[in-house]
A and B are shown apart, each in its own frame.
Chain A
């Protein structure tokens, strides 16, 4: 029991910290660039990714002894695509406004390398329970990085948080940095983020 708990803890801490899919493995960058200019859209997108990584990891792990090795990637993609389409249909039916704003990006979750990567690297060789935890942890590790980036991009690029005009409300004069809402802004934000995390936080951990 304690061995499992330790394993679960290790999966979580590595996905959120030292082995984070975004800033340590530099995976899933395409969606980091695309959706992080509005916080709300990012939140919905990351929830979709958490849902998909968790369940696709679980499903792939359940089937891992039956999936023939030579068609395993096809099978994984099919499973991932199924969950993504479910997310897309759910959004269309219950959150039509957000679905309209996200447009094709929900469908593009299928191509998120983190999901496929976890299925290949973890789910194929571990049990369903652990795979579920790993999928969830990777999803969360991805999500919080994107949410931080989105927070600053929306704040600096549009002067708003969750659509609320924060600078106007606080009476602070502010000129929107248009570049922050365009793709290059995401490059800058991500680079600064990785720089801070790797240069400051991870280095301190190594030293101690």
Chain B
């Protein structure tokens, strides 16, 4: 240790790390700033597509078309507390979409839940954020699961996967993902209690 001297042993390593850190941070923040807009647009578009899906509309793959459809048919209410979707012709409200969040197995589950204008019948559900087990709980993102709510009325009870019950109060759970299924059921049941108060009370 002695032959190196004060500069080589003490000052140089510190200086080196400061310079290296500065270089790395500028690189990373440069890229971060450059991609920031794109990331925001992606997140925004993702949410819009989810709302369109929950309202039972055909979601266009093309970002611009999805954007156009959203601005044409969807109105954001109460700073995003819920969305109303107007019918293709006329100004009647055809669907109300409510964002909801609740616990999941590994992290929060965020969803948008689409209701008919009676605020009792579901159209579809889309998940905007979920960290469930891939291959098990993460299968809530599969199309059949998200569309099985059409025409059904919460509160729900769960039945085995594959039952496809015609009972409006029963939804299919996912095999091997008991807890995820329960969390989703609770999330939707809670939202059903909130939506009326939110929509009718807010106007």
Name A's B-contacting residues (CB within 8 A).
Answer: 37-38, 41, 63, 66-68, 70-71, 74-75, 78-79, 81-82, 85-86, 89-90, 92-94, 96, 100-101, 103, 154, 157-158, 178, 180-182
Contact = CB atoms under 8 A, between A and B. Distances in A.
Interface in B73-119: none
B13 interface: yes
6 contacts: A37-B135, A71-B17, A75-B16, A92-B35, A96-B42, A178-B135
Given A66-B16, A71-B13, 6 more contacts: A67-B16, A68-B13, A70-B13, A94-B38, A157-B135, A180-B135
| Shortest beta-carbon contacts, A-B, top 3 | A181-B135, A93-B35, A68-B13
| Binding site secondary structure of chain B | helix
Nearest to B107: A103
B24 A38 contact: no
A94 to B, nearest CB: 8
Contacts of A38: 134-135
Nearest to B43: A96
B135 A82 contact: no
B16 A82 contact: no
A85 B28 contact: yes
Interface of B: 8-9, 12-13, 16-17, 20-21, 24, 27-28, 31-32, 35, 38-39, 42-43, 46, 129, 131, 133-136, 138, 175-176
A81 B27 CA distance: 12
Given A75-B16, A78-B21, A92 B42 contact: yes
Contacts of B32: 89
Contacts of A181: 133-136
B20 A75 contact: yes
Nearest to B38: A93
A68 B16 contact: yes
B29 to A, nearest CB: 10
B134 A89 contact: no
A175 B191 CA distance: 34
A75 B131 CA distance: 32
Contacts of A158: 135
B69 to A, nearest CB: 19
A94 B38 CA distance: 8
B20 A93 contact: no
A153 to B, nearest CB: 8
A63 B23 CA distance: 13
A68 B12 contact: yes
Contact of A89 (B12, B31, B133, B175): B31
Contacts of A68: 8, 12-13, 16
B111 to A, nearest CB: 14
B46 A82 contact: no
Nearest to B21: A78
Contacts of A100: 46, 129
Contacts of B17: 71, 74-75, 78
B31 A86 contact: yes
Contacts of B133: 181-182
Contacts of B35: 89-90, 92-93
A197 B20 CA distance: 41
Nearest to B131: A103
Nearest to A75: B20
Contacts of B135: 37-38, 154, 157-158, 178, 180-182
A101 B140 CA distance: 13
B136 A182 contact: yes
A93 B39 contact: yes
